[in-house]
Amino acid sequence: MIHPQYNLFKEKQEQLINQPNAIDQHQVNNIYDRYVNPILTRHHVPIEWRFDLNQETNPYFMERLMVNAVFNAGAIYFNDKFYLVVRLEGADRKSIFALASSPTGIDHFRFERLIEWDDLDPQETNRYDMRLVKHEDGYIYGLYCAEKKDLSVNDTSSALADVGLVRTADLVTWTKLPNLKTKASQQRNVVLHPEFIDGHYGFYTRPQDGFIDVGSGGGIAFGLSRDMNNPKIDVEKVVSGRKYHTVYEYKNGQGPTPIKTEKGWLHLAHGVRNTADGLRYVLYMFATDLKDPTQVIAKPSGYFIAPYGAERTGDVSNVVFSNGWVTKDQEVFIYYASSDTRLHVATSTISKLVDYVFNTPQEVYRSQDSTEQRQQLIKQNQILKENTTHVKNHR
């Protein structure tokens, strides 16, 4: 017999799922719109995925398999719906992938199914942060961090980060491919370029020495592989490196796959700096050449999105992270997680993002130069105001 509390829980959850979202009018920069509500939280996870509904085996209607957080989702627009492959973290720390969809892209997200494939790597302990890429070859690829124990170290916390690869044609049946091989000891935040480069598959990588610390890793890099059945990169070239006293001083990584525009490829990445309160993650943007994605042609200064308000608190506070965005017509839906706890959306347009990336002043690296840069804006605005007043007075 189904427990009588099930219907009460289900009704509350349906109210949550069907709640309309709205633009947050208190956060306006005319680059993008933030929204009032997160699009997915642990409370959106189906009751049937967490509770044993049987009154006999669960008389107190306890949550048998608790969910800690839902965050860091890959995204794609497919068959007239917005789909997210969500990182769903249980109370046991294990992350699994779950498919959620929405007809609007900003609200009414509903979990559909867990994502599974053949277990070909028994050493893989944890998996997370999938990037979804619709490639020119016709497949949808999923690239994720495949974590396993570092057996060369005699402790219980050292780990290795590999690049897991899967592909699908329908988001239902997934095929496991061999992990990507590079010369780096560890890799995170690897993303597939959506088009062939001279007949090769292009990958944005982030080589690093340790599981958390990048060590000698130079930043976001790019490399080529001949095929996906034996993916291997021999040479990696740094595209967006780290630099002292910037938002990407400590480390950085590619977010979702870049968006192609007439002026270049638009990139969304995360940058990390250390603070007295730990690592702070923000998002930043840059553009690369259409013919050569290793050549950066525009890069605004500072961050694009940073933690704001309630986004600042969570399991890993002061963090925003994105591994998924979607374009529909000319609109861009940017999916980002806050503090490793919940998922949000921000919306913009391709024309706005192109304007932002190509026309926002670039990083000048010194306070003296930053002062002059802002002073120049103040002066040109003052001249404009004076000229406008002068014209009005002579009408």
- pLDDT tens, position by position, 27-72: 889 999 999 999 999 999 999 999 999 999 999 999 999 999 999 9
Mean of pLDDT values over 363-387? 97
* Per-residue pLDDT, 33: 98
Cβ atoms of 117 and 130 closer than 8 Å: no
Residue ranges per structural domain of the chain: 5-363
The two three-digit tokens of residue 175, written as one number:
């095929």
* Per-residue pLDDT, 362: 96
The two three-digit tokens of residue 389, written as one number:
């007043």
Express as a percent the part of the chain with pLDDT over 70: 96
SS3 assignment for 217-269:
CCEEEEEEECCCCCCECCCCEEEEECCCCCCCCCEEEECCCCEECCCCEEEEE
Residue 79's contacts (CB-CB under 8 Å, 6 or more residues apart) are: none
* Per-residue pLDDT, 215: 62
- Residue whose entry in the numeric block shows the structure tokens 């289900």: 10
- Residues 8, 1: Cα–Cα separation, whole Å: 15
Mean of pLDDT values over 139-157? 93
- Where helices occur in the chain by DSSP H, the ranges are 5-17, 350-359, 367-393
- pLDDT tens, position by position, 161-216: 999 999 999 999 999 999 999 998 899 999 999 999 999 999 999 987 766 566 66
Cβ atoms of 109 and 44 closer than 8 Å: yes
Question: Under CATH, domain 5-363 is a member of which superfamily?
Answer: Glycosyl hydrolase domain; family 43 (2.115.10.20)
Mean of pLDDT values over 351-374? 97
Closest CA to 33 of 353, 287, 294: 353
Cβ atoms of 205 and 143 closer than 8 Å: no
Mean of pLDDT values over 341-346? 98
Mean of pLDDT values over 97-110? 98
Judged by average pLDDT, the poorest of 24-28, 89-93, 203-207, 286-290 is 24-28
- pLDDT tens, position by position, 239-282: 999 999 999 999 999 999 999 999 999 999 999 999 999 999 99
* Per-residue pLDDT, 28: 87
| Per-residue pLDDT at 333 exceeds 70 | yes
According to DSSP, the β-strands at 23-28 and 33-35 are antiparallel
Q: Where are the beta strands (DSSP E) in 261-352?
A: 265-275, 278-288, 296-298, 320-328, 331-338, 342-349
| Per-residue pLDDT at 217 exceeds 70 | no
- Residues 6, 305: Cα–Cα separation, whole Å: 39
- Maximum separation of any 2 CA atoms in the chain, in Å: 86
Model confidence, pTM: 0.96
pLDDT band at 391 (very low <50, low <70, confident <90, very high): low
* Per-residue pLDDT, 390: 67
Q: What is the DSSP string of 350-375?
A: HHHHHHHHHHSPBP--SHHHHHHHHH
The two three-digit tokens of residue 160, written as one number:
């290795």
* Per-residue pLDDT, 119: 95
- Residue whose entry in the numeric block shows the structure tokens 């006999």: 56
- Residues 10, 61: Cα–Cα separation, whole Å: 13
| Three-class SS state of 80 | coil
Mean of pLDDT values over 219-226? 96
> Is the pLDDT higher at 209 or at 85?
85
| Per-residue pLDDT at 225 exceeds 80 | yes
* Per-residue pLDDT, 208: 76
User: Over the chain, what is the mean pLDDT?
Assistant: 95
Cβ atoms of 142 and 132 closer than 8 Å: yes
pLDDT band at 5 (very low <50, low <70, confident <90, very high): very high
* Per-residue pLDDT, 385: 95
- Residues 44, 49: Cα–Cα separation, whole Å: 11
| Per-residue pLDDT at 392 exceeds 80 | no
